[in-house]
Amino acid sequence: MYLEDDSQYWRGQIQPNDPEKWFSSHAEIMNHYVKLSQEKDVEYFSFGSELTSMENPKYTEYWSEILTQADEEYDGNILFSINWGAFLYGNGVNTDLLNHPAIDEIGISYYYEHTDVPTGASVDELLESLEDLPLYEIKTLHELTGKDILIVEAGATSTDAPWQHPWSTPSGKPNQQDQATYYEALCEAVVGREDLPFIVGVQTWNEGATSLDIDPKTDIGFEIFNKEAEQSVKECFTDES
């Protein structure tokens, strides 16, 4: 759960002038939605969501208070979601925060860059890259916390080699096949693997009410509705046994 304004300033870089006031306001907002989630029997409530700068160890005490209160108010699963690349960029993660007893599972946004994999690559070629850094980070998170990992956000645009910068605003010409390849490789890399039982799910980005209105032949966005990638996702999450 997070609130975001209309600016282009990424929330992972915010630096409030008064952190204590920021956390007080954040706690008030979160507590409202935690209580609402309890009333509506919501299964998961996620904190964080790429608030990288606010996960600094100097803020652990603030988070601890928010999480402890949430745990007292809410019976569902509490998730704390972090951004991808925590180890890639040398910053690591706040293990004291992630090991808070109120947190049931760790969420991670999955937008790892595979810049060496060209457009038109096969599933096997992309899978080799997916098996590298992403799984290292996810395994390390599990080892540091002992908690299951939910990939809370993974997606790719329908453009050439969207896996090179999967987080970026789409541009260029449509390429449904590369988008479908990404999802197929992602599925093989993380879904239902017996050697990775701690990866408990994947949520894809991004579908909404406007997805029904796109022209799949010309659209280059993250949506998969009526595109080749839709079939890749269906096959990934369909139990054929």
The stretch 111-138 carries a mean pLDDT of 91
For the beta carbon of residue 24, count every other beta carbon within 10 angstroms. 13
233 lies in some domain? yes
- Angle at alpha carbon of residue 163, lines to 171 and 219, rounded to 5°: 35
More confident residue, 132 or 199: 199
5 lies in some domain? no
Contact in structure between 151 and 189 (CB atoms under 8 Å):
no
Task: Give the residue from 89, 102, 91 showing the smallest Cα distance to 63.
Answer: 102
90 lies in some domain? yes
Summarize pLDDT for 90-112 with one digit per residue, the tens: 567 999 999 999 999 999 999 99
The stretch 156-180 carries a mean pLDDT of 95
- Angle at alpha carbon of residue 204, lines to 108 and 12, rounded to 5°: 40
What CA–CA distance (Å, rounded) separates 110 from 138?
Answer: 10
Q: Which of these ranges, 139-143, 166-170, 204-208, has the smallest mean pLDDT?
A: 204-208
**% of residues, the chain, pLDDT over 90:** 75
What CA–CA distance (Å, rounded) separates 155 from 97?
Answer: 27
Burial string for 124-155 (b: 16+ CB within 10 Å, else e) reads eebbebbeebbbebbeebbeebebbbbbbbbb
User: Per-residue pLDDT for 181 more than 50?
Assistant: yes
Q: Tell me the CATH number at 188.
A: 3.20.20.80
* H-helix or E-strand spanning residue 154: strand 148-154
What CA–CA distance (Å, rounded) separates 109 from 149?
Answer: 11
- Angle at alpha carbon of residue 147, lines to 24 and 153, rounded to 5°: 70
Summarize pLDDT for 135-153 with one digit per residue, the tens: 888 999 999 999 999 999 9
**% of residues, the chain, pLDDT over 70:** 93
Summarize pLDDT for 32-85 with one digit per residue, the tens: 999 999 999 999 999 998 898 999 999 999 999 999 999 999 999 999 999 988
Radius of gyration of the chain (CA): 19
User: Per-residue pLDDT for 204 more than 70?
Assistant: yes
- 3-class SS at 177? helix
Q: Which domain holds residue 60?
A: 11-237
159 lies in some domain? yes
161 lies in some domain? yes
211 lies in some domain? yes
What pairs with residue 45 in β-bridges? Answer: 78
- Angle at alpha carbon of residue 51, lines to 156 and 78, rounded to 5°: 90
75 lies in some domain? yes
Amino acid 131: pLDDT? 83
Amino acid 239: pLDDT? 64
The stretch 170-190 carries a mean pLDDT of 95
Residue 241: pLDDT band with limits 50, 70, 90 = very low
Count of domains for the chain: 1
43 lies in some domain? yes
In this structure, what token pair is assigned to residue 145?
A: 């916390």
What CA–CA distance (Å, rounded) separates 49 from 109?
Answer: 8
